[in-house]
A and B are shown apart, each in its own frame.
Chain A
Amino acid sequence: MQLKPQTRFLLRGSTLLITFLVLWWFVLRAPMLSLLRGGIEMLGGDVAGETAAGDWTMRVPLEGVIPATQGRAAQQVRSVEFDIARADVNAFTFSLPVFWAIMLAIPGLRRSVRPLAIGTALVAALELAMMFLYLQIVAHNNAAQLGVPQGAGAKWLLHFGEYLVVTVIPYAAPFLIAIWLHRDLRGQIFRASGEAKA
């Protein structure tokens, strides 16, 4: 029985996603977290320590002033220190196995090698950038809790940014990058359009 290309892609993609994510969960997660930490430190991020539970203690430079109140003088804030749960950091390492699964679900392995290599570098860079963005968002939220004033617009923007960085980009980016980089996949999906038929 001849399956539709969409059905084949769905079946191959689902199988590979399960395989790669299980592999990531049990084997790759720890080394990828180490690589992420190395990347953060190489780019000037400050991982101040790690708790027994594996949570990261981060120190993020942030300039702000906690206004004076009755009986307390104004305080200058130069950096914020906080812990990030290991489970939260995981979100910045799992896009890579998702990207690999999608790329390998496309028939024709030889044509996938180049986009696979370029995409791996892109997704890794994006994960690192998202991690830095997330650290900034958490640092600003912590500063606001300490009493550094924060406007309603800034508050909403931080909420919007956090939603994108944590809930949307790590999941959607591997798919979008795969479609963007892999000509065959893009061609198959958009074959119906003028671009492919002209």
Chain B
Amino acid sequence: MRPARFALIFGVSFLAGIGLLLTPPVQSVDTAFSRALVKVSHGLIGACGGHATRTGAIMRAPSGFAVEMRDGCNAVNVTLLLWSALLAFPAPWKMKVFGMAAGSIIIQAVNIVRFISLFYLGQYSMTWFDFAHGYLWETLLILDTLVVFWLWVNRVSRSTPVPNAA
């Protein structure tokens, strides 16, 4: 792998992805995606015996506390980070598509855990909510994404011969 080529493709695809994300048509898809994630979270809370009501991308507790999944909270930017790294890494397209699909599912699964945990944390303490929402969960999500990429690179190396390997 050539590091400069990787860095260039990674940087350009990530910036292009963010640029695209901020265009009005993609923003409407992004909002619909956030609503879908809140719907899944709401369903999971109900299935586990919890109580919450949902309006669009807003989830409300019986105590009155409400949390909204907004742009930036739906982990789309972290998913773009992973996709850019997968695109930049030299691997067969089949492996890249597999990495994108599997990685997105893992990231969104962690993100749903994050959203549900924030929903309960906010009812307990707003200070801890601000800390976990603004800083802790976001960085943990990026750490998970890095590990997903690392595991994917290992999988690629096992399934494809490296041309310049001895």
Contact = CB atoms under 8 A, between A and B. Distances in A.
Contact of B135 (A21, A163, A172, A194): A21
A189 B153 contact: yes
A115 to B, nearest CB: 16
A82 interface: no
Residues of A in contact with B, size category:
35 or more
Interface string A10-26: 10011001100110010
A90 interface: yes
Q: How would you classify the secondary structure of chain B's contact residues: helix, strand, loop or mixed?
A: helix
B45 interface: no
A193 B90 contact: yes
B147 A6 contact: yes
A175 B164 contact: no
B157 A175 contact: no
A96 to B, nearest CB: 12
B154 A13 contact: no
Contacts of B142: 171-172, 175
A171 B138 contact: yes
Contacts of B131: 21-22, 25
Contact of A17 (B72, B143, B149): B143
A198 B164 contact: yes
Given A17-B140, A164-B18, A190 B164 contact: no
B47 interface: no
Contacts of B140: 14, 17
8 contacts: A17-B139, A22-B131, A91-B134, A172-B142, A175-B146, A190-B1, A193-B1, A197-B165
Contact of A160 (B3, B22, B150): B22
